[in-house]
Chains A and B, each alone.
Chain A
Amino acid sequence: MISTELVDISRLQFAVTALYHFLFVPLTIGLAVMLVAMELTYVTTGRPIYKDMVKFWGKLFGINFALGVTTGITMEFQFGTNWAYYSHYVGDIFGAPLAIEGLMAFFLESTFIGLFFFGWDKLSKWKHFMVTVFMALGSNLSALWILIANGWMQNPVGTEFSFITMRMEMTDFWSIVFNPVAQAKFVHTVSAGYVTAALFVLGISSYYLLKGRDLDFARRSFRIAAGFGFASALSVIVLGDESGYSVGEAQHTKLAAMEAMWHTEPAPAPFTLFALPNEKTQTNEYEIQIPYAMGLIGTRSISKTIPGIAEIKEKNRARIINGMIAVTALEQLRKDKTNATALATFNAHKVDLGFGLLLKKYTEDVSAATPAMIQQAVDSTIPKIAPMFWSFRIMVALGFLFLILFSFALLYSIKGNFIEKRWLLRWALWFIPMPWVAIELGWIVAEYGRQPWSIYGVLPTHLSVSSLTPGNVYASLAGFVAFYTVLLIVEVYLMAKYARLGPASLGTGRYHGETKHGGGTIPVGAPADKA
């Protein structure tokens, strides 16, 4: 039997490293696109201030990118080191988008990022602009392939189990690429990255405006961020991830969990604005509902029903019982590959193989699982409701606050009087961390919400781990926490230092803090060091 402790600690390590990696990626994706917009303005207008904007925001982009790369390698390694059985069982499908991401996107992004930083004097204006475009294209395509891989975990299409190779095998590459869940995720995640970057630029520009320094630079940055942010915040909401929730059972389960929908409601279902979900009684207390809203959000229709938790569980119970037969037949087949009766039984029940494997958490011999074990397995198919319910609500609330903030920012940008709106500038400044909160909660909804599966309906998380001792994983987790803490301190320190220093860090002699040195070059970081 696989130790539950090993599974839990492996999951914790994955969650910690993934959530951490995800602190850097969205900003990279979004800032890359904003740099393209800024540089396009530079090459078309020829005004050096826009070049300074590309260089300055590019500096902050670079500080952030370094940690994105550092922590990204961890993610790739970790599938092999800690989720070895997963790697074997689904590597045939899951590995391909990761490899293609490297070939098609990450090479592009990483090769051109070098020229982006160091090629200013070696390339013509337009050539450098194209370099920036390719860099941004690379980082966005990276997200596409990673989310194709992730979308497949939520909705495993284009694949079939082979009892000879004892794994899932790819049957249709293009259905994996055009998986609707992956496409919805891509649009939603990338837009969220754009919001993050827009608010980052908006907030830091607001800081300069509040301090009354680098006004010209900050004003122009603010305007670009306001326009870009408004469009992105709108897109995050309109093209929300739940547009993919009508497809695939994992998504139904998540929807029911994050809505705390204990029972199927007549269509269109109401949206629960507030409630205290009670796991024991399987009911909500102090419920406040908006009629019809959930049905519209979840199904984009007024007639489709959204299945509730109790109904999903009953469906899963039937699949688990069916899956027991598949697991037992598979075990016979693995001992004797020519056993024709076992093969026939297996083929008749293999759609539910994954559900049968859920029982492996409770017993070695799945064929002898007791009704109590089956009940445990049934209950395990629904993630805990409260974290899902609240993560989703806070994320959505933040999403709307971003839209409101950017609406004001855009409105006053058009009117041209945003510098007078100090409340707006302060709001933008203090709101800089919030997209990260929303994004991390979104990750929790998507990934915690998929539990108990690593691949929905195919492979339980419990079986996906490597054959390690929990002690090994405790130790490596401690190592990651130590490294990541130091790296985060260094990164935040540098980011704050350079943000405070502002465009003066370019050493052009044109910006705040430079003139008192006579406009010449000053040592990097000098004003901030004295502050």
Chain B
Amino acid sequence: MDYESLKLIWWLLVGVLLIGFAIMDGHDMGVGTLLPFVGRNDLERRAVINTVAPHWEGNQVWFVTAGGAIFAAWPLIYATAFSGFYWAMMAALWALFFRPVGFTYRSKIHNATWRSTWDWGLFIGGAVPPIIFGVAFGNLLLGVPFQFDDTLRSSYTGTFWQLLNPFGLLAGVVSLSMLTFQGANYLMLRTEGDIYRRVRTASLIFGVATLVTFALAGLWIMKGIDGYVITSHIDPNALPDPMDKTVVKTAGAWMSNYTTYAWAKWIPIGTFIAIALGIVFSRLHKAGLAFVASSITCAGIIGTAGVSMFPFLMPSSSDPRSSLTVWDSVSSELTLGVMLGATVVFMPLIIFYTSWAYKVMWGKVTTDFIKANDHSVY
């Protein structure tokens, strides 16, 4: 396999890992976000938490592995984005702190204040990371102020507050709505009674919110955001060197892939259809189909962002030539090959045993079940 193919495959695979993260870790982040609102007393909240109790740890590994894969496959992105978005990353990290301890420690002590504190901790751990990741994606679409020196040392010249611009924040809301929609649909599958009624309402609200904000973001990209274009010749098989190209910022550039590749427009169109179907299924009490639709929504929204920017991953607004692309952010051919081998071997296994784990634990989690298993559940 040649270097160009490997570079493209890894663009797809990082996409797959991010989508896997959104579908899997996303649904339990959505559960965390909804927790204080759909559970009105301790038993109800425990029922909500225990729908993800056996799975959140495995799901969080999608996040860890996506991070590791970006480190290995796109070291320059890992270095530039994580250090550039320093405070955003710290905020996401600290918000994530609340999850393992929130889940594990919450029900270990019989005290209302203790438990409610961790419930809000799980809310923070569920809501803050999706917002931050959304804001980060939004800023990638806008371009990020950074540049490289002769030794490829990156420096970010913006501030943290600069990331919180209107479009970035809108992207944050898209991301939060999408994952909360996903979490609500998952909860519809696993709960009943009052909790079910509340999560269904949440599903409808966040489904509509996803539809509206995704449409708004799309319009904004079409009308008001300049994309980036490579203006020099690119040899996709060349050793990666981001400084070996020229780039300009142009209006409408983020739409050009949809004209170049006619099939690409079906990604955003399909996403709209998936969101609409998700809302319809939720109304019709078809929880399983609604969950499938919101999972496709996650894939579609991430896919739309990726395809719009392709081949860019992290354009530089202050020094466009420093922009990072699919061709020049990557690791060596050998590393990409080794990683591909590892993914091909282990990803099917992961999907297999994760499915098995869900199958074993499947069923509605009720307040009666919590009462009966007070000592062994969260």
A-to-B contact residues, CB < 8 Å: 55, 62-63, 65-67, 69-70, 72-74, 76-77, 79-82, 84-88, 91-96, 98-104, 106-108, 110-115, 117-120, 122-123, 134, 162, 164-167, 169-171, 173, 331, 334-335, 466-468, 472, 476, 479, 483, 487, 490-491, 494, 497-498, 505-507, 521, 523-526, 529
Contact = CB atoms under 8 A, between A and B. Distances in A.
B105 A66 contact: yes
Interface string B65-81: 10111011101101111
Nearest to A119: B360
B103 A66 contact: yes
B376 A91 contact: no
Contact of B65 (A72, A92, A99): A99
Task: Select the residue from A77, A80, A173, A497 with max chain B CB neighbours within 10 A.
Answer: A80
B240 interface: yes
A80 B71 contact: yes
Nearest to B156: A467
B152 to A, nearest CB: 4
29 contacts: A72-B64, A77-B93, A80-B82, A81-B86, A84-B79, A88-B79, A88-B152, A91-B331, A92-B331, A96-B339, A99-B65, A99-B68, A99-B71, A100-B339, A102-B64, A102-B65, A103-B342, A107-B354, A111-B55, A111-B61, A166-B152, A166-B241, A167-B152, A490-B101, A498-B108, A506-B375, A506-B376, A523-B110, A524-B374
A472 B61 CA distance: 28
Contact of A114 (B57, B154, B376): B57
Contacts of A123: 360
Contacts of A506: 375-376
Contacts of B342: 96, 99-100, 103-104
Interface in B307-366: 331-332, 334-335, 338-339, 342-343, 346-347, 350, 353-354, 357, 360-361
B104 to A, nearest CB: 4
A199 B21 CA distance: 38
Contacts of B78: 79-80, 87-88, 91, 95
B100 A81 contact: no
A273 B376 CA distance: 51
Contact of A107 (B56, B334, B350): B350
Given A81-B89, A99-B73, 5 more contacts: A67-B100, A70-B96, A79-B82, A91-B78, A506-B376
Contacts of B154: 84, 88, 467
Interface of B: 50, 53-58, 60-61, 63-65, 67-69, 71-73, 75-76, 78-83, 86-87, 89-90, 93-94, 96-97, 99-101, 103-105, 107-110, 150-156, 239-241, 331-332, 334-335, 338-339, 342-343, 346-347, 350, 353-354, 357, 360-361, 374-377
Contact of A115 (B63, B82, B109, B361): B361
A483 B338 contact: no
A524 B110 contact: yes
A521 B374 contact: yes
A95 B93 contact: no
A169 B150 contact: no
A88 to B, nearest CB: 4
A55 B66 CA distance: 32
Contacts of B343: 103
Given A99-B339, A106-B61, A81 B109 contact: no
A122 B361 contact: yes
Contacts of B350: 103, 107, 111
A487 B241 CA distance: 43
Contacts of B339: 96, 99-100
Task: Select the residue from A65, A107, A472 with max chain B CB neighbours within 10 A.
Answer: A107
A91 B346 contact: no
Contact of B375 (A69, A104, A122, A505): A505
Contact of B75 (A67, A95, A119): A95
Given A88-B75, A110-B58, A467-B156, A170 B68 contact: no
A179 to B, nearest CB: 15
A122 B361 CA distance: 7
Given A92-B75, A472-B86, A490-B101, A170 B54 contact: no
B67 A494 contact: no
Given A63-B108, A92-B75, A98-B68, A466 B83 contact: yes
Task: Select the residue from A84, A108, A112, A479 with max chain B CB neighbours within 10 A.
Answer: A84
A102 B68 contact: yes
A286 to B, nearest CB: 47
B68 A467 contact: no
Contacts of A94: 71
B346 A104 contact: yes
Contacts of B54: 114-115, 117-119
B104 A63 contact: yes
Contact of B334 (A165, A169, A335): A169
Contacts of A63: 104-105, 108
Contacts of B90: 81, 476, 479
Contacts of A99: 65, 68-69, 71-73, 339, 342
Nearest to B331: A92
Given A99-B342, A115-B360, A122-B360, A490 B105 contact: yes
A170 B334 contact: yes
A165 to B, nearest CB: 5
Given A114-B57, A115-B360, A335 B150 contact: yes
A467 B75 contact: no
Nearest to A145: B68
A114 B362 CA distance: 13
Contacts of A497: 109
A335 B104 CA distance: 55
A96 B83 contact: no
Given A171-B334, A467-B153, A103 B346 contact: yes
Contacts of A115: 54, 357, 360-361
A99 B10 CA distance: 13
A501 to B, nearest CB: 10
A99 B342 CA distance: 9
A95 B332 CA distance: 12
A98 B71 contact: yes
B60 A69 contact: yes
Given A107-B58, A467-B156, A525-B110, A487 B97 contact: yes
Contacts of A101: 68
**8 nearest A-B residue pairs (beta carbon):** A91-B75, A80-B82, A95-B72, A102-B65, A114-B54, A111-B58, A95-B71, A466-B83
